[in-house]
Every structure is written in structure tokens, then in C-alpha cells.
Chains A and B, each alone.
Chain A
Amino acid sequence: MRNTSETKTTLTVNGREVSFNEETNLLAVLRKADIDIPTFCYHSELSVYGACRLCIVDVEGRGIVTSCSTAPEPNMRVRTDTKELRQMRKINVELLLAGHQRECPTCDKSDTCRLLEIARRLGIDEIRFKENNRQQPLDRSGVSLVRDPNKCVLCGDCVRYCGEIQDVGAIDFIGRGAKTQVAPAFNKGLGEVECVNCGQCAAVCPTGAITPRSEIEDVWEALHDPDKTVVVQLAPAVRVSAGEAFGGAPGELATGRLVAALKRLGFDQVYDTSFTADLTVIEEANEFLTRYQAGEKLPQFTSCCPAWVKFMEQYHPEMLPNLSTCRSPQQMFGSLAKRMLPERLGVEKKNLVVVSLMPCTAKKFEAKREEFWSDEMADVDHVLTTQEVTRMIKEAGIRFTNLEPRAFDMPFGFKTGAGVIFGSSGGVTEAVLRYAYEEVTGSRREEFEFHQVRGNRGLLETEVELGENKIKLAVVFGLGNARQLVERVARGEADYDFVEVMACAGGCVSGGGQPVNGEEETRERRIHGLFNADETLQLHAPQENPYVQEGYNKVLREPGSEIAHRLLHTDYTNRRPTLGLEVPEEHHPRPKEKVKIEVCVGTGCFLRGSQELYSELAAYLKETGQEEEVELCGTYCHERCDRGPVMAMAGIRPMTCRKTWMSEHGPVVSVDEELLENCDVNAAKTAIQEKLKKLN
């Protein structure tokens, strides 16, 4: 039965009457009644999984049920506090702890770990089950995140977030029984698969099984080095969340104290990413107006979210021309800083270290993209997340709440409100409109806000008049939402001029590197904080930023100029896997100079004796003592059955193994790049020897 808000109904909880209307599960009803039932696998925006069994309650006439997957019914009599429930919950937590490596003091997550919190809350004082963990290696293959399988409790929160909200599905349950793991495909690392580094898996993980990859040590190193001048840029969304780690409320502006804390940590200059956000707006708006007038490459997609950029490169490379070529504010900052600051600050370029402070794990990946390196030097050397910087502040023993606020350094510390609202979904669009309106109409608007693009919804569509033109806009967050939008555009079912995409819910305020905060409405409050900050600034449109103007006068000339392109724009890579998963260049193991021979053991070849050929070759290599130089392995059909028996010699660079197969017409063998047809054992031997001779 469906309850509408008019027909309120009630049930009783621990003898107390509680009303409910639209809640779909008992857990939500209980929480509304201020009963905080512990949960591990429940997230309001994800599907219900019902695996952790912590949310159990006793329903009269039904017995013990999981409240997250039980619908409320009128007159239900629910108990949450019986002796049996308490004991069962404790046992469940003990079981979780038994399979979990308990090294809390060294865990990055211990401040906000839900497992630890619940264990303490339930008063767990001993774990009666044998610790059953096989120590497994950490997955450090990615630059944004570290996976520690030893701490996973298999709640599946990350799997569902990655699959249901981001529509990436980079991780899943692998294996079964006691060997079940949450991992990427084919035993690969997160850095080797289609993960876009959004870090939302880390944000929802109740334990420290997935965490942002820390660059704290690298930054300390630079700060301690007397030869280095270390500057830092602070992203918009960080100012409304960093205070939370020191008891502040979400959304409370901590900019001044943060600047003071960064100076105390030893940063020589503290700048604002909002400065280059202003610059991004001008470049991106001009790019848009040019495309709009020419009627080409529309819709223009924004490009400041690196998770979204990688998503496009993987899944819709055919639409890459539609992506704005503008670098993100982080990278525009890095590019300008490395070119302008050495002279300004009187340091050698090699001694200038640029750190950025971001709400985002994907920014770590972005800074490592080779487009943003020149002369073996990164434009942005290290990326710290909000979580990391608050840890550094604590480590240094700085009493954050007692700090006197300080101001950013000039000139890269000056911004307008347009650069600040970048941290919220809709912010980039609004900033572009503030600029484009004046550019197109030649006049100033009375009010600076564009309320139509604010809304904090997964997909917002609207039209805005710029002079005689109606611009069709979409603002979207969550990559699943983005994928649907892109597919509708591709099918011709939707038509936009400008589309803003952010991977995280509500924009960067919910980035994967932000403080983890179980409180509801955190996202709304942080967004509110950003718009408040915009309100209190004197300037709201990027073109009013005098230092940005100075930058154009002195270096960049005009928006979209040749030099602006060189310093502020970029291009993209098609990352669609042709076969198998994306394997970034740096993860290719350097192949040894070996001859690789593969024999098909598929059904067809097997029946025709591939086994014998294989054994003979194995014996032969043993005999000649060439086992080290030649790699022999079994593989599957190579689809050249009609021309067999074939032997293929795979080359000195065994990238994808050119495999050998045997088929309807007998054994097929491949040796490196070459395919040798009508081949027998002796032929194979000759080919191997020739190949080896060439190698040596």
C-alpha cells in the first residue's frame, strides 16, 4: 500500500508511536524518529543490499528482520532494543572485525571509520573469532587511490556506487566463498582499469579499504627542503569543508584560517585556484561563443572535471571534439605558475614546487597526465586532498580554531565570485553566463545571479537568453546521469548548446578527497557556503578581475590567442579499449627481450594434437637450455584455422601476445609478431633459433 503525505500512518517503536508517510523502509522511519540504528551497507541513494545485518529489528509476528529492506506498515510493532538484538548485532560486528585487518593507528581512515565507531558504540570488548586474514598486497597501481583488500568488509557500498551512480563498474565482487574479494577485473589494479578516479568508492567505504593516495610525505619533503620555494593553490570547494575536521559545521567558510594554517605549515605563497577559474571562464566562454556562432562542435561539454574527461575518453571518444579544450583551473594555474612565478619570486624553475589543495582524488591523476608535463617537470607537482591537508595541520600541532585569518598572496590570490562558485554543480555554467551575457549584449545585468542554473539536481535543463539567442543548457552531475545525457545527444533525442558535467554529487563540494561526513545535508550546506562567499565578494564576473586582465595584457594577449592555446588549452586521448581493458603506458611492464611462443590448446587444436607439439617444444627448450630466452605458453584459437598449421613468431615487443593456435587443420603456433603457416615441430625449432640469433 502506498502512503501519500496526506494519509499519515503510524507504527510503534519500542512502545512509542511513530508516524511515517513516504519512507520506503523501516530504517528511514527509525532514523526520522531519532533512533540511530547502525548500518554498513545502506546508503539512501544506492540500491538495498541487505548484507551486513546490523540494522536488524524485531517486528512482532515476523521476528528479526533487516530494517533497511523491510517496508513500514501501519500498526507494525517494532522493537530495536531487545537483548537478542543486542547480542546478534555484537556478533555481526565481531564477525566483520574477525575478517578485517585491525591496524587502526596506522590507518588513514581511523578518524572516520564506521567499523571502529560501531564497534565502540556497541561496546565490543573482545573478538571471539579467529582472525582469518590472508595478508594481501596493497593495490597502489593508481595515482589517486590505494586499495587495501585486507580491510574490506564486503559491504559492497563501493561496488554499488561505482556501478549504479557512476556507471563505471570498475570494481565488483570477485570469486566466491571465503575467497570473495572486491576488486577490479582480471586481478588488475585500479590504476590499470577503467576507474576514473572520482574517489566516491573511498567516500562511501565504511572502513579504510579504499582511501585517497596520500602525497603528504612528498609535500613535507619539499617544505623541509631549504632550496625549494613551495607555493600552494587552494580550490574553491576546500574552503567550505576543511573546517569540519576541526569541529566546524559543513559550509562554514574557513578560507582565512586555512591560508594562515598553510603559511604556518611553511608554504611560501598561498594562492587561490579561483583566480585561474576566472581565467578558465573567459577562455571557455570565448570558445563557446565561437563554436555557437559557427554552429559547430555543439554541445560544448565542460572539461574541468578530470573524472568526467577520462570517462569521455573511454566511453565516447567520438565526442571528444565537443569537449572544451580548456585546461582545468588547477592545470591553468600550474601552467602559469611554472612560467611566471620563477621570475616574479626570483627562484629557479627547478626549485619552484607547485602544490594544489583539492577536494578531489581525480585531480591527482590529472596532474600526472603527460600533457601537463614539460621538460620532465609537472606543472603541478603534488596534489593534496582536503583530508590530507587537515591531517598535516593536525600533525603540525596547529590549533586551527585559534588561528587569525590571513589573506591570499597576490596576484594569483585574487578572484571574483565567478571563480568561487566553480566548486558547486552549476557554478561553471553560471560563471560562463555572467561573462557571456556582457560579451554578447554589451551591457551589464542588474543582478549578477543566474538562478535558473542552480538547483542541485542530477540533471537540470534550461534555456537562457543571451541577446537574441536562446542558449540551451544542461547541468548534470553523477557519471551515470552524464552517460544517459551523452547517449541521448548521440541518438539525436536531445539538443543542447552547452553542457556542464561534474562526476560528484552536487559538484566538487562532494569530491572524493573531502572530509567524510555522515551528516545529512552536508552537500547542500557546502554549496550554500560557496554561494555565500560569492555574495560577500565585491566582484562577481570574471572579466572584472584586474589581475586576469593584466595577465592578458602582459602574456596571453587575448582569449583564444595562440599563446593562450599553448598555455591554457589541451587535447585528449582516445582511451577506448580496443580489446581488453585500458592499460596506461606506464603500467606496461617493460617486456624482456624474449621470444614468446604460444600454442593453442583450444578444442579444435587440442583434438589435432597441439598437446604433442607443445610437449615437444617444451622438451626441446629444456634440452637446449633456452628456457630462459623463450617463453612458451598455451593459448586459444587464433582464427586462422583454414591456413594451418601455422606458427606465428611474436616479436621482441610482446605487447599483446600473438598467440598460437591449432585448429581444424592442425597445430598453429605463433612466435612473436610473425605468423608462420604450414608449420611443423622442426619448422618451429628453426624459427625459434633464427629469432634468438637476431635478438643476440
Chain B
Amino acid sequence: MCQNTDSSAVQAEKQKQPVRSFEKIREILRDNNHDPARLVPILQKVQEEYRYLPEDAMSYVAAALGLPAARVYGVATFYAHFALQPKGKYIIRLCDGTACHVKASIPILEAMRSRLGLGEEQETTDDMLFTVETVSCLGACGLAPVMLVNEQTYGQMTPEGAVALIDKIMEQENNQ
């Protein structure tokens, strides 16, 4: 059962120190010799750890490497690969490369977004179950339009197919 095991002494102690010691990030930094030139691989590892790049983590990396936070943020926002917001359990990546675009990827996107009730500029559902984003060419143009759900590839998608897939996932989730 839920019990508050924090004694007031521990509480007081905690107020003084930041709760996190960033042990994991420190390890990543050590593995990379604290080399500012290795910023991109470092951020990649941090993202693997946390599934996105939290602001505190970027600040910590910046301070540890002696880089301005704006530089780290600049790099993080430059590469599409980096996520600055926590993502949902299911990350749907719809290809909007030339081939897929020509084969009507946008209607698929619209169908999924409306099924999930995503607002403008919103990529992740309120319940953190789904994230929908577009990516450029996935290198599977033969299967266009292509979409990835986490690591699984789905080819020759249609708006209806995509919505059905989402429904199926939702059902699975509800039955768990």
C-alpha cells in the first residue's frame, strides 16, 4: 500500500539537493570522455535512456561539456531524430517523402489525427498512448505510402487501414 516513507529529515535533505543526480547521463558523458565534439552521439544516448530529451537533461549535458545551453538546444532542434517532448507508447511515423506524398500520405495523416483527436501542432495524445509524426523518406518507396508503428513497418497504407490499425491497438490496450 501507499506509504510515505520519507521522514522529515529526508524531506529536508531532499529540498536542498536536486532529486536527480543524473547518474545515467554522467555515465554517458564519461563514456564519451566529456568531449564536446561528441555532442550528437551523447544526445542520442541520452534520448535512448529517456525516450526524449528533457530540458534538464540538455542543461546538464551543456553544463558538463562547458557548452552554452543554446548550442545544445540548437543541435537538438536541428536533427529531426531528437524528440523534445515525451512521446506516446505507440509512435506512428508516417512517411511523407516524395514517393509517399505522391501516393497520398497526407489524407492518411489527417484520418489518423482526427481519429485520435489531435489538436493543431499536437503530436501526442492526451493519454500518452499515441504519437503521430511525419518523417522524410524511409527508404521503402516500393511500398509507398509507408508507415512505421514503433519498429513495425506497414506498406501501401490507406486512411481506412491506418484508422483500423489504431482501433486494433486501442482494443488491445483496453483488454489488458
Please give me the residue from chain B that is nearest to A685 by CB atom. Answer: B2
Please give me the residue from chain A that is nearest to B60 by CB atom. Answer: A579
CB–CB B68/A639 < 8 A: no
CB–CB A186/B5 < 8 A: no
CB–CB A601/B87 < 8 A: yes
Q: Which A residues are CB-close (under 8 A) to B48?
A: 603
Given contacts A603-B51, A636-B86, whether A684 and B128 have CB atoms under 8 Å apart is: no
| Residue of B23, B56, B74 touching A580 (CB-CB under 8 A) | B56
Contact with A along B6-38 (1 / 0, CB 8 A): 100001001100111111100000000000000
CB–CB A678/B127 < 8 A: no
Determine if A637 is an interface residue (Cβ-Cβ < 8 Å): yes
How many positions in chain B have a CB within 8 Å of any CB in the partner chain? 51
Residue in B11, B23, B51, B60 with the greatest tally of chain A CB atoms within 10 Å: B51
Q: Which B residues are CB-close (under 8 A) to A602?
A: 49-51
Number of A-B contacts (CB under 8 A): 144
Contact with B along A555-591 (1 / 0, CB 8 A): 0000000000000000000000111110000000000
Given contacts A635-B54, A676-B3, whether A173 and B74 have CB atoms under 8 Å apart is: yes
Q: Which A residues are CB-close (under 8 A) to B2?
A: 647, 676, 678-680, 682-684, 686-687
Q: Which A residues are CB-close (under 8 A) to B11?
A: 673-674
Please give me the residue from chain A that is nearest to B63 by CB atom. Answer: A577
Contact with A along B60-76 (1 / 0, CB 8 A): 10110001111111100
Determine if A320 is an interface residue (Cβ-Cβ < 8 Å): no
Q: How far is the CA of A145 from the CA of B9 in the complex (A)?
A: 44
Q: Which B residues are CB-close (under 8 A) to A603?
A: 48-51
Given contacts A185-B70, A606-B51, whether A615 and B6 have CB atoms under 8 Å apart is: no
Determine if A110 is an interface residue (Cβ-Cβ < 8 Å): no
CB–CB B1/A683 < 8 A: yes
CB–CB A656/B18 < 8 A: yes
| Residue of A172, A174, A639, A684 touching B23 (CB-CB under 8 A) | A639
Determine if B162 is an interface residue (Cβ-Cβ < 8 Å): no
CB–CB A172/B73 < 8 A: yes
Q: How far is the CA of A208 from the CA of B85 in the complex (A)?
A: 32
A463 to chain B minimum Cβ distance, whole angstroms, is 32
Q: How far is the CA of A240 from the CA of B52 in the complex (A)?
A: 53
Q: Which B residues are CB-close (under 8 A) to A679?
A: 2
Contact with B along A622-651 (1 / 0, CB 8 A): 000000000001111111000000010000
Q: Which A residues are CB-close (under 8 A) to B110?
A: none
Determine if A36 is an interface residue (Cβ-Cβ < 8 Å): no
* Interface positions of B from 140 to 168, Cβ below 8 Å from A: none
Determine if B104 is an interface residue (Cβ-Cβ < 8 Å): no
Chain A interface residue count: which class? 35 or more
CB–CB A674/B87 < 8 A: no
Determine if A194 is an interface residue (Cβ-Cβ < 8 Å): yes
CB–CB A171/B1 < 8 A: no
Given contacts A175-B77, A606-B51, whether A193 and B69 have CB atoms under 8 Å apart is: yes
CB–CB B18/A579 < 8 A: yes
Q: Which A residues are CB-close (under 8 A) to B87?
A: 601
CB–CB A674/B4 < 8 A: yes
Contact with A along B69-93 (1 / 0, CB 8 A): 1111110011110000011010000
Determine if A526 is an interface residue (Cβ-Cβ < 8 Å): no
Given contacts A606-B89, A612-B176, A678-B1, whether A174 and B51 have CB atoms under 8 Å apart is: no
Which of A6-14, A37-45, A162-170 lies on the face that meets chain B?
Answer: A162-170
A600 to chain B minimum Cβ distance, whole angstroms, is 9
| Residue of B4, B49, B51, B56 touching A579 (CB-CB under 8 A) | B56
Given contacts A603-B50, A606-B51, whether A172 and B126 have CB atoms under 8 Å apart is: no
B6 to chain A minimum Cβ distance, whole angstroms, is 5
Determine if A658 is an interface residue (Cβ-Cβ < 8 Å): yes
Q: How far is the CA of A603 from the CA of B68 in the complex (A)?
A: 28
CB–CB B70/A174 < 8 A: yes
Q: How far is the CA of A194 from the CA of B22 in the complex (A)?
A: 22
B149 to chain A minimum Cβ distance, whole angstroms, is 15
Q: How far is the CA of A558 from the CA of B78 in the complex (A)?
A: 59
Given contacts A581-B59, A677-B3, whether A163 and B50 have CB atoms under 8 Å apart is: no
Determine if B129 is an interface residue (Cβ-Cβ < 8 Å): yes
Determine if A618 is an interface residue (Cβ-Cβ < 8 Å): yes
Given contacts A174-B77, A677-B3, whether A580 and B71 have CB atoms under 8 Å apart is: no
Q: How far is the CA of A686 from the CA of B1 in the complex (A)?
A: 10
Determine if B57 is an interface residue (Cβ-Cβ < 8 Å): yes
CB–CB A185/B6 < 8 A: no
Residues of A within 8 A of B (CB): 163, 168-176, 183-186, 193-194, 577-581, 599, 601-603, 606, 611-612, 614-615, 618-619, 633-639, 647, 656, 658-659, 673-680, 682-684, 686-687
Residues of B within 8 A of A (CB): 1-6, 11, 14-15, 18-24, 48-52, 54-60, 62-63, 67-74, 77-80, 86-87, 89, 126-129, 173, 176
Q: Top 8 closest A-B pairs, CB basis?
A: A683-B2, A169-B68, A185-B69, A172-B70, A636-B50, A185-B73, A634-B86, A172-B74
Q: List 20 A-B contacts (CB under 8 A).
A: A172-B70, A175-B78, A176-B80, A185-B59, A185-B73, A193-B69, A194-B69, A577-B63, A601-B51, A602-B50, A606-B51, A611-B129, A615-B129, A636-B86, A639-B19, A639-B20, A639-B21, A639-B23, A639-B24, A675-B4
